[in-house]
Amino acid sequence: MADEKSLNFLEEIVETDLKEGKYTSIATRFPPEPNGYLHLGHAKSICLNFGLAQKYGGYTNLRFDDTNPVTEETEYVESIKDDVRWLGFQWANELYASDYFQQLYDFAVVLIKKGLAYVDDSTSEEIAAQKGTPTRPGTNNIYRDRSIEENLTLFTNMKAGKYKDGEKVLRAKIDMAHINMLMRDPVIYRIKHAHHHRTGDAWCIYPMYDFAHGQSDSIEKITHSICTLEFVPHRELYDWCIEKLEIYPSHQYEFARLNMTYTMMSKRKLLQLVNEKHVSGWDDPRMPTLSAVRRRGYTPESIREFCDKIGVAKRENLIDIGLLEFCVREHLNKISLRRMVVLDPIKVVITNYPEGKEEILTSENNPEDETAGSRSIPFSRELYIEADDFMEVPPKKYFRLAPGQMVRLKSAYIIKCEEVIKNAEGKVTELRCTYVPESKSGSDTSGIHVKGVIHWVSVAHALPIEVRLYDRLFLTEDMNRIEDDFKNHLNPESLKVLTNVYAEPALKEAKEGERFQFMRTGYFCKDKDSTSTKLVFNRTVTLKDMWAKEVRKGA
């Protein structure tokens, strides 16, 4: 029996609308502005919009809100399409607000003819000054009373390019004393002699968001237009335009955007990080963009699961980034092949293992998935193990390697540390161990039980690789709360590059983007910077580490 999951408030609205026969099917849209890359906040919106349509039998349009040519570029359009597809969604139609420029222009003319719009010659400063404040009403200016004929002529001239940028605007004529600031004669068209990424130089006037978005929804017969909370006050204007234009009544609903701990989700600031080279690009694996988390090794399934788990509501939230990490671990644990990789090597010589001898051992690829099969791993007299897996003076409950102590080498033998060799500075350089020949994995007759199991790589067969370890980009939990420059909060240790790393030979076959669990250290993904001679892996996320926590508590 599938337990019935409760509905979020948007699903409730849709179900009610469907039940009451308001609609027979629904249409939603995802409306990004192509002025940056999509991030996890957009993923929430994508999952919501596409998810709703999927669940209730409708469709979702991908509509680029490209009404501001100075910030928008084709590069962004392509990345957005890639990201939506990667997340696993298929849009019904690829559309652009710029497709509607003529219709939108005609709508503006309709408004003028109804006496509901006028051309204003004021500067932006004057308009701002006349706007009043939230507690003080605005004031009318002389342009407000221009005749319909004059407005029509002026607006035609605006379109014809007879004025310079900023010289005139078209404003809706609503009410300068309206309690809602957005209803105080909002600017609906402005002059921009700028090249548009799709319409080229065909237009020199462009509609504002409030005069483009709702009408675009209406043209596409979007039933449920879902946006974030900061647009709540825009809804009144959204409805006003639809009513005065007497067009299809789409409706706007608002939800709270995603905020995440230690994460900055503002496109503008992310752009700044890219431009000022604090990161290597929009897809730097430390970024919260979808192209970055993809490169880092996150799966689309885990992002969708995350969006499902965080829910949808109308109150401000701050999601623990640990939940995202939980989701990706949960998925990667099920699907990723295990490999042994030593990130910080220390050499072990097995003194009672014959020189020149080699054995081929077998290890399962994924204990969570029998169909994943197994692989061969070469074993020999000299090995690398993790420096962390040896302590000369171990604390209580440390069940890895220490002088006189035994551990099992994963899928191989039990070894015992007999001697510690140090260099002149007293640093441990080599461990001399003996192995128990009867303790071979799968045919262990030694009767010895050891608690610790560690990973290892045969020196003679080791594959050198580069590994990039990522930590949170920011050190401050709630980046919405800061008052100083957000760059002051950057984590200087958000990237650590390890170049003295050895992997088992099987990793050589890895394909770009392929994800693995490096046993006991974390999940990793082969990076696009890899070449035939240099393999590079990104750490997606560490494994949960109870021992590290234990150590921290002791400290």
Cβ distance 263 to 288 under 8 Å?
Answer: yes
Minimum CB separation of residue 87 from RNA in Å reads 19
> Is the CB of 284 or the CB of 413 nearer to RNA?
413
What is the x/- site pattern for RNA, positions 408-427, by CB under 7 A?
x-xx----------------
Residues numbered 282 to 321 that lie near RNA (CB under 7 A) are: 309-320
Minimum CB separation of residue 342 from RNA in Å reads 13
Residues numbered 508 to 537 that lie near RNA (CB under 7 A) are: 517, 519-520
Distance, C-alpha 68 to centroid of its chain: 24
Q: How far apart are CA 225 and CA 57, in angstroms?
A: 16
> How many separate helices (H) and strands (E) can be counted in the chain?
13, 25
75 binds RNA (CB under 7 A): no
How crowded is residue 358: how many other Cβ atoms within 10 Å of its Cβ? 12
Rounded to 10°, the helix 40-55/300-310 angle is 80
Minimum CB separation of residue 125 from RNA in Å reads 8
How crowded is residue 2: how many other Cβ atoms within 10 Å of its Cβ? 4
392 binds RNA (CB under 7 A): no
191 binds RNA (CB under 7 A): yes
Could you confirm whether 33 is annotated as catalytic? yes
Could you confirm whether 267 is annotated as catalytic? yes
Identified binder of RNA from the candidate list 209, 262, 379, 516, rule CB under 7 A: 209
Amino acid at 175: D
* Measured CA distances, 409 to 399, 481, 519 (Å): 13, 48, 12
> Is the CB of 33 or the CB of 471 nearer to RNA?
33
> Is the CB of 149 or the CB of 320 nearer to RNA?
320
> Is the CB of 182 or the CB of 226 nearer to RNA?
182
Stretch that binds RNA, among 46-54, 296-304, 449-457, 463-471 (CB under 7 A): 449-457
12 binds RNA (CB under 7 A): yes
Number of residues that bind RNA (CB under 7 A): 94
> Is the CB of 52 or the CB of 284 nearer to RNA?
52
Q: How far apart are CA 456 and CA 363, in angstroms?
A: 12
Which residues contact residue 249 at a Cβ distance below 8 angstroms, ignoring those fewer than 6 apart?
218, 242, 243
Q: How far apart are CA 498 and CA 488, in angstroms?
A: 26
Q: What are the DSSP E strand ranges found in 100-144?
A: 117-120
Stretch that binds RNA, among 274-282, 294-302, 506-514, 547-555 (CB under 7 A): 547-555
Identified binder of RNA from the candidate list 8, 405, 434, 491, rule CB under 7 A: 8
Stretch that binds RNA, among 296-304, 404-412, 428-436, 495-503 (CB under 7 A): 404-412
Cβ distance 363 to 375 under 8 Å?
Answer: yes
243 binds RNA (CB under 7 A): no
> Is the CB of 228 or the CB of 280 nearer to RNA?
228
Residues numbered 169 to 188 that lie near RNA (CB under 7 A) are: 169, 179-182, 187
Q: Of these residues, 131, 244, 257, 410, which one is catalytic?
A: 257
219 binds RNA (CB under 7 A): no
Residues numbered 135 to 154 that lie near RNA (CB under 7 A) are: 135
Cβ distance 50 to 307 under 8 Å?
Answer: no
Minimum CB separation of residue 106 from RNA in Å reads 18
Could you confirm whether 125 is annotated as catalytic? no
> Running DSSP on this structure, what letter comes out for residue 172?
E
How do 337-339 and 515-518 pair as beta strands?
Answer: parallel
Q: Of these residues, 267, 339, 381, 400, which one is catalytic?
A: 267
Minimum CB separation of residue 533 from RNA in Å reads 28
Minimum CB separation of residue 189 from RNA in Å reads 8
> Is the CB of 210 or the CB of 284 nearer to RNA?
210
Minimum CB separation of residue 141 from RNA in Å reads 12
491 binds RNA (CB under 7 A): no
Residues numbered 22 to 41 that lie near RNA (CB under 7 A) are: 31, 33
Minimum CB separation of residue 255 from RNA in Å reads 9
Residues numbered 78 to 107 that lie near RNA (CB under 7 A) are: none
- Can you name the residues that pair with 146 across neighbouring β-strands? none
202 binds RNA (CB under 7 A): no
438 binds RNA (CB under 7 A): no
Identified binder of RNA from the candidate list 23, 105, 399, 486, rule CB under 7 A: 399
Minimum CB separation of residue 542 from RNA in Å reads 9
Read off the tokens for 338: 């295990």
Q: How far apart are CA 517 and CA 336, in angstroms?
A: 6
Minimum CB separation of residue 78 from RNA in Å reads 18
Cβ distance 289 to 37 under 8 Å?
Answer: yes
> Is the CB of 259 or the CB of 530 nearer to RNA?
259
Identified binder of RNA from the candidate list 42, 234, 416, 539, rule CB under 7 A: 234
- Can you name the residues that pair with 350 across neighbouring β-strands? 433
Cβ distance 473 to 490 under 8 Å?
Answer: yes
C-alpha count within 13 angstroms, C-beta hemisphere, residue 400? 17
Q: If DSSP states are collapsed to H, E and C, what string results for 18-62?
A: HHCCCCCCCEEEECCCCCCCCEHHHHHHHHHHHHHHHHCCCEEEE
DSSP 455-518: -EEEGGG-EEEEEEEE--SBS-S-TTS--S-GGGGB-TTSEEEEEEEEE-GGGGGPPTT-EEEE
How many residues are there in the chain?
555
* DSSP 3-state of 126: helix
Amino acid at 522: G
Stretch that binds RNA, among 38-46, 106-114, 190-198, 277-285 (CB under 7 A): 190-198
How crowded is residue 142: how many other Cβ atoms within 10 Å of its Cβ? 9
Q: How far apart are CA 425 and CA 437, in angstroms?
A: 34
Identified binder of RNA from the candidate list 249, 322, 373, 513, rule CB under 7 A: 322
Residues numbered 352 to 391 that lie near RNA (CB under 7 A) are: 366-368
Query: Which active-site residues does the annotation give?
Result: 33, 257, 267
